[in-house]
């Protein structure tokens, strides 16, 4: 969705952005191979970022986020259809992403220039074939059939592009078929050679700052019914399939920029984020040590200021899990155009 650098009136807006287009195809040919392992589609094109206040069926959205009513969001202008709930197929959006696609080309960094073409040997993406979920092609089928011209051609190309699978509900962990993590891993393991799969862990309690107290009940459920189940499945497959995991986007990375917010900065939210993420990293690392783990690292719009970046670094250090991390994933929740690299600091 970051194929069009200047699509937004406000860079802070992120939900179903009008005029957006899909960006570069997944690749390890990054501008700095010592710093960046890969560019990868972490958001699945065509799945709604969030709902409009009024859903396509005319009912009120129960999980409406005001950010999805921004001046840049689809559904806020006459002639635009309302957006369905997050994760549901958004036909209008995926055709727009295809129409404005910029899937090829080179990234020209404004601060750092490309270093050696020799990759870091531990890069989990290097030399791998990436898994393409057949369920995505099935979702996109109706949009492809109703599209025309170049948009149709681009959509046909997009369904062959690998993207991450979001584990935003417990029901997506176990089961057969490629609508579950377990089914995806089995399918990837059956390939020759097994293909790299990427998952997004996204189920923290108090994610929308609405829980009371210390979130103790929610954290116990998160540990035993969500993380433990994920770790158990990974234990079976981590030595059969290359697995990459991004843990809890839009969580720890929000704390440094929202300390004063009564919701994001309250003690229940901070406790839920820190305790939950620490448990997730440690548990998965112990049960499936071959899994490459990345934490959410926000984006340059949040951490382009030295004090905010330092706050984030200190937050991560306080968890005591850095020895289990491969690195950080950026541009998942909010995002910026590729090629705009922020200054680096040695904290």
Q: Note the pLDDT tens digit of each residue in 110-157.
A: 333 333 333 345 899 999 999 999 999 899 999 999 999 999 999 999
> What pLDDT is recorded for position 251?
80
- The answer to whether residues 34 and 115 touch, using CB atoms and an 8 Å cutoff, is yes
Contact, 336 vs 4, CB < 8 A? no
Structure tokens belonging to residue 144: 């492809």
Question: How far apart, in whole angstroms, are the C-alpha atoms of residue 212 and residue 310?
Answer: 29
197-201 and 327-329 beta bridge pairing: unpaired
Q: Residue 282: which residues within 8 A CB-CB, separation 6 or more?
A: 321, 324
d(CA 212, CA 210): 7
Nearest-CA neighbor of 167 among 278, 108, 87?
A: 87
Q: How far is CA 45 from CA 241, 327, 336, in A?
A: 24, 24, 17
Share of the chain above pLDDT 70, in %: 83
Helix-helix angle 149-158:134-146, to 10 degrees = 180
3-state SS, 162-194, equals CECEEECCHHHCCCCCCCCHHHHHHHHHCCCCC
Structure confidence by residue, pLDDT tens digits, 74-118: 999 999 999 999 889 999 999 999 999 998 865 433 333 333 333
Q: Which residues contact 143 (CB under 8 A, 6 or more apart)?
A: 46, 89, 91, 94, 95, 155
34-43, 69-78, 133-142, range with greatest mean pLDDT: 69-78
* Contact predicate 36/30, CB 8 Å: yes
**pTM, whole model, 2 decimals?**
0.87
Short-list 90, 111, 87, CA closest to 336: 111
């Amino acid at each position: 969705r970051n194929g069009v650098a200047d699509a937004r009136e406000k860079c802070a807006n992120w939900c179903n952005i009008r005029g957006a287009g899909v960006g570069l195809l997944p690749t390890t040919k990054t501008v700095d191979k010592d710093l960046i392992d890969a560019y990868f589609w972490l958001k699945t094109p065509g799945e709604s970022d969030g709902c409009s206040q009024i859903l396509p069926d005319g009912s009120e959205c129960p999980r409406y986020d005001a950010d999805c009513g921004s001046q840049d969001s689809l559904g806020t202008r006459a002639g635009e259809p309302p957006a369905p709930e997050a994760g549901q197929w958004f036909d209008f959006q995926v055709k727009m992403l295809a129409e404005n696609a910029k899937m090829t080309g080179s990234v020209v960094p404004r601060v750092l220039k490309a270093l050696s073409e020799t990759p870091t040997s531990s890069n989990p993406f290097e030399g791998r074939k990436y898994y393409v979920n057949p369920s995505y092609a099935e979702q996109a089928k109706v949009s492809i059939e109703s599209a025309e011209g170049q948009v149709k051609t681009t959509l046909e190309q997009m369904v062959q592009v690998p993207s991450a699978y979001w584990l935003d509900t417990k029901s997506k962990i176990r089961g057969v078929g490629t609508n579950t993590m377990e089914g995806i891993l089995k399918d990837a393991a059956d390939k020759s050679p097994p293909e790299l799969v990427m998952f997004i862990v996204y189920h923290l309690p108090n994610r929308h700052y609405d829980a009371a107290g210390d979130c103790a009940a929610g954290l116990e459920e998160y540990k035993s019914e969500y993380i433990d189940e994920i770790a158990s499945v990974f234990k079976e497959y981590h030595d059969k399939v290359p697995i990459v995991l991004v843990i809890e986007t839009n969580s720890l990375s929000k704390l440094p920029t929202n300390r004063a917010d009564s919701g994001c900065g309250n003690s229940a939210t901070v406790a839920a984020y820190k305790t939950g993420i620490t448990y997730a990293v440690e548990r998965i690392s112990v049960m499936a040590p071959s899994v490459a783990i990345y934490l959410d690292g926000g984006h340059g719009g949040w951490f382009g200021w030295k004090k905010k970046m330092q706050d984030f670094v200190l937050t991560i250090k306080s968890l005591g899990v850095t020895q289990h991390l491969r690195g950080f994933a950026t541009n998942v929740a909010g995002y910026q155009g590729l090629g705009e690299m922020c200054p680096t600091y040695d904290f």
